[in-house]
Every structure is written in structure tokens, then in C-alpha cells.
């Protein structure tokens, strides 16, 4: 009962914060994006490896990538802390109703990513807080919980695993035809 009360208060605070959110929405694909943020609910080593593979795929496309992961355990294993551009936080770094308190979580929220990829397949309030308040121009995620803040929602109910979600994410972001990117390329060719 107390957990539900804390969650209700957290959602109330989130709605209040969202009223002052100033975000410039713009659809991006892997060709038009330059900065990408990835949110991850870190449940297993496999989830972490899938996120690192996605990061490698994006870095090969010359994109700047940052990962912010929430670990549900009591202490973060060192193997998750030894990566460049990867930050992991856990329960002790949340306030009483679930808001992340670390400086790097606020930096992540305020960074204007071209694409924010939410790899969470279940609702985690701390990640919902970050995704909702993120100033990212284009937010992408799964249909994993009510009221998610994503601009593009990918429904993967038939295969509820991270590897399949990432393959679908790549597929749909590849299909998106970004007319703004095409116009910029045409303008650059004319110059």
C-alpha cells in the first residue's frame, strides 16, 4: 500500500514537472541524428550486452551515444561501471518516491539528444521520469506501460525480449524517411 502511495505521489510530481517542459520535437532517423541517448532497465548481463551492441552499431554510424541504465539490485557490479559513456544508477540514488537524484541523470535529461531510445520493456518509474522529462527531439520505445512519453512506440507483444525489440527498432528507424535530412543534403550539394 505504501509503495502504491509513493508511486501515485511520484506520478503527480511528474505531471507537475511536465507542465514546464520545453522540448523541440523533430523526427530523426539514423542518418539525420547526431546524438543518441539510450535508457536501459538493467536486469541481466544479456540486456547489458544487447545495449552495448546497439551502442557499437550507432558508433559505427559516427553517432555520439550515451547510455543511462537503472540497476535494480542493492549494489552495482563493477562490470557495468567500466564503460565509456555508460552511467548506471540504483535504488539508493532515488528519492523516496522514485525520482533520480544523481547529477548525471539530470545532465542526461537536459541533453538535447536527436533520438532517445528507451529500451525498457517494463515500467520503471525512475526511467519513466527521465524519458518523460528528456529534452530529446524524438523519443522511441516499446509499448511497455501506460502513459509512456515516446513519439514512436513499437509494439512487440509477440516477442517480449530486448534483442527482438532492438531489431525492430533498427528496422523502423531505418524506414523513417526524414524529409528535413534530405533537404539539408540537397542544400549542401548545391553549395
- Residues 72-122 have pLDDT tens digits of 888 999 999 888 999 999 999 999 999 999 999 999 999 999 999 999 998
Using 50, 70 and 90 to split pLDDT, how confident is the model at 187?
low
- Alpha carbon of 172 to those of 28, 72, 92, 169, 179: distances in Å? 11, 29, 36, 5, 16
What sign does the CA torsion over 172, 69, 13, 16 have?
negative
Rounded to the nearest angstrom, the gap between the alpha carbon of residue 103 and the centroid of all alpha carbons in its chain is 17
Question: Closest Cα to residue 156, out of 133, 172, 179, 134?
Answer: 172
Using 50, 70 and 90 to split pLDDT, how confident is the model at 146?
confident
The CATH code of the domain that includes 79 is 3.40.50.2000
CB atoms within 10 A of CB 175: 8
Residue 45 belongs to what domain range? 2-190
Backbone angles phi, psi at 65, to 5 degrees: -125, 135
Number of domains into which the chain is organized: 1
Using 50, 70 and 90 to split pLDDT, how confident is the model at 179?
low
Contact 23, 135 (CB under 8 A): yes
CB atoms within 10 A of CB 117: 27
Quote the cell numbers at residue 156.
512487440
CB atoms within 10 A of CB 83: 15
This prediction's pTM: 0.89
Contact 63, 93 (CB under 8 A): no
Give me the mean pLDDT over the 132-148 stretch. 90
Amino acid at each position: 500500500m505504501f509503495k502504491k502511495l509513493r508511486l501515485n505521489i511520484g506520478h503527480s510530481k511528474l505531471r507537475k514537472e511536465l507542465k514546464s517542459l520545453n522540448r523541440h520535437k523533430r523526427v530523426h532517423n539514423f542518418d539525420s541524428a547526431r546524438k543518441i541517448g539510450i535508457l536501459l532497465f538493467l536486469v541481466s548481463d544479456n540486456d547489458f550486452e544487447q545495449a552495448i551492441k546497439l551502442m557499437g552499431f550507432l558508433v559505427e554510424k559516427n553517432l555520439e551515444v550515451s547510455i543511462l541504465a537503472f540497476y535494480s539490485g542493492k549494489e552495482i557490479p563493477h562490470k557495468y561501471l567500466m564503460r565509456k559513456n555508460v552511467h548506471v544508477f540504483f535504488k539508493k540514488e532515488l528519492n523516496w518516491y522514485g525520482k533520480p537524484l544523481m547529477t548525471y541523470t539530470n545532465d542526461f535529461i537536459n541533453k538535447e539528444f536527436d533520438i532517445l531510445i528507451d529500451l525498457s520493456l517494463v515500467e520503471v518509474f525512475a526511467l519513466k521520469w527521465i524519458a518523460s522529462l528528456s529534452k530529446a527531439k524524438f523519443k522511441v520505445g516499446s509499448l511497455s506501460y501506460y502513459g509512456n512519453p515516446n513519439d514512436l512506440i513499437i509494439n512487440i507483444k509477440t516477442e517480449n525480449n530486448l534483442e527482438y525489440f532492438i531489431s525492430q527498432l533498427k528496422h523502423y528507424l531505418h524506414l523513417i524517411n526524414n524529409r528535413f535530412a534530405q533537404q539539408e543534403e540537397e542544400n549542401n550539394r548545391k553549395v
